[in-house]
Amino acid sequence: MKAIQADLLDFTAEPDWGDTQSPAVRWRPAHWLLVGDDGRIAGVQAEAPDAGVQRLDHRGRLLMPGFIDTHVHSPQIGVMASYGTELLDWLNTYTFPAETAWADPAVAAAGSAHFLDALLAHGTTSAVVFPTVHKTSAEALFAAASARGMRIIGGKVLMDRHAPAALMDNVAQAERDCIDLIQRWHGQGRNSYAVTVRFAPTSTAAQLAMAGELCRADPTLYMQTHVAENRDEVRWVSQLFPSARSYLDVYASAGLLHPRSVLAHGIWLDADDRAALHHSGAQIAFCPSSNLFLGSGLFDWRATAAAGAKVSIASDVGGGTSLSMQRTLADGYKVQAMAGQRLTAWSALHAATRGAANALHLGHEIGSLDVGRVADLCIWDWSVGAVDTRRLSMARDLHEQLFAWMTLSDERHLVGTWVAGHNKTMRSAA
């Protein structure tokens, strides 16, 4: 048994939009979090634990559940901050060449290890990940995640058209690869398999139908893809699938819209699309940094949430410019501000922790500091320099304090990351 003393912050429910005094916030300053030998949270208490318990003193620091990134690409760290293109040109110019190299198992293994260590170094302990079209890239991702004990959802990317030859599969081989990967990795340890459609333009109708059959055969499988990110992309989809009512309808018609579907972006959706998301139980992974960097558009979070659809937060690296969820959330605030909305720290942080966990049907495992949850934790410094130290000292209430921290902090504030009760990235002795 270990006990960590810190300022504990998590959520008991989803905060109402715009409510800075939300009762869903659970704030327990200078409390002890107890972590059992099984790697799960055993309790929280104000009083010091028994003398026989190992005590870790992080008084004056913030302790939260590890962040959950619901859309990120493992092979794309090397193409972050690439100049000058929108989505479709960016894919052809930067992304596809980078992904081609992952056909080599050694490259995939080294890249997956580097990627997951980078997530941990930014306070992200769980993620929904796109590797590449190569079967070996999914194997490398799951193996590296298992070695670290991380909760990872991923799967071999499906692409059988409109891509370089080195990145295309075919329906029959892709199906065989997916079935083998599902049998070997889905539900093994903390790994889950996601049927992974790159996006509608790079899959034929036959491949989309095959993906839908995989989902129907096993309702515990996830599905991940992109939808309505860029206006040119939306127009292209309408040309490729003229009978579909909308871009989202392409996936719905193929059986790919269900409670475990994670669709990145969703900027250019209409009211009918949002209603379909609600009825299916699917979620949108909001990727504000990527949307701003690629000039894709401004996602309407409030309209999506008002329709009853789930929204989580994602870095979308390499279109996104940082694996830091705080930087991503700060960009999310700016995107909503452009629409005249104000994203509270509570709604933002909830969407990156308990909200994401619930949307992924993993609230029983991650996303909160509830007793029995896996001890995926991060310990943060409130401030690391003159600017944020001064700003935090001026905070008038808890929300202002957390909003300033969320906006000004990043991976430099991370003291340590714990995965299943094991210390992975501790910066200082504890």
Nearest to 222 by CA among 159, 277, 279, 153: 153
pLDDT at position 425 is 76
pLDDT at position 31 is 98
The phi-psi region of residue 86 (left if phi > 0; otherwise alpha if psi is between -120 and 50; otherwise beta) is beta
Backbone angles phi, psi at 391, to 5 degrees: -65, -40
Contact 175, 108 (CB under 8 A): no
pLDDT of 262 strictly over 90: yes
Contact 357, 368 (CB under 8 A): yes
pLDDT at position 261 is 98
CATH fold for domain 2-66+368-423:
Urease, subunit C; domain 1 (2.30.40)
CA–CA gap between residue 178 and residue 169 (Å, rounded): 12
pLDDT at position 430 is 39
Rg, Å, the chain Cα set: 21
* Beta strands at 151-154 and 261-265: parallel, antiparallel or unpaired: unpaired
Tokens of 327: 């930087």
Q: Where in the chain is the domain with CATH 2.30.40.10?
A: 2-66+368-423
Instruction: Please state, rounded to an integer, the average pLDDT across all residues of the chain.
Output: 96
pLDDT of 2 strictly over 70: yes
Nearest to 193 by CA among 154, 137, 159, 147: 154
Going by the DSSP 8-state scheme, the letter that residue 48 receives in this structure is P
At residue 418 the predicted structure's pLDDT band, cuts being 50, 70 and 90, is: very high
CA–CA gap between residue 220 and residue 215 (Å, rounded): 8
Q: Which amino acid does the sequence have at 93? A: T
Strands in 25-35's sheet, in edge-to-edge order, are: 41-45, 25-35, 2-11, 54-65, 377-380, 414-419, 422-423
pLDDT of 20 strictly over 80: yes
Contact 284, 277 (CB under 8 A): yes
CA–CA gap between residue 353 and residue 363 (Å, rounded): 9
Other beta carbons less than 10 A from residue 171's beta carbon: 17
pLDDT at position 429 is 40
pLDDT at position 83 is 87
Q: What is the pLDDT of residues 71-113, one digit of tens each?
A: 999 999 988 888 877 878 888 888 898 899 999 999 999 999 9
User: In sequence order, what are the beta bridge partners of 30?
Assistant: none
Contact 373, 41 (CB under 8 A): yes
User: What's the average model confidence in pLDDT over 259-280?
Assistant: 98
CA–CA gap between residue 139 and residue 285 (Å, rounded): 24
Nearest to 359 by CA among 394, 314, 390, 315: 314
Interacting residues of 23 by C-beta distance below 8 A, sequence separation 6+: none
pLDDT at position 426 is 63
Bond into 123 cis (ω within 30): no
Range in 18-22, 48-52, 82-86, 159-163 the model is least confident about? 82-86
Q: What is the pLDDT of residues 126-165, one digit of tens each?
A: 999 999 999 999 999 999 999 999 999 999 999 999 999 9
Q: What is the pLDDT of residues 155-204, one digit of tens each?
A: 999 999 999 999 999 999 999 999 999 999 999 999 999 999 999 999 99
Tokens of 101: 């190299």
Helices vs strands, H then E, count in the chain: 16, 16
3-class DSSP state of 115: helix
Note the CATH architecture for domain 67-323: Alpha-Beta Barrel (3.20)
Contact 128, 285 (CB under 8 A): yes
Element spanning 60, H or E = strand 54-65
pLDDT at position 138 is 98
CA–CA gap between residue 377 and residue 7 (Å, rounded): 12
Q: What is the pLDDT of residues 237-251, one digit of tens each?
A: 999 999 999 999 999
Tokens of 31: 């409390």
Q: Where in the chain is the domain with CATH 3.20.20.140?
A: 67-323
Other beta carbons less than 10 A from residue 258's beta carbon: 18
Q: Report pTM.
A: 0.97
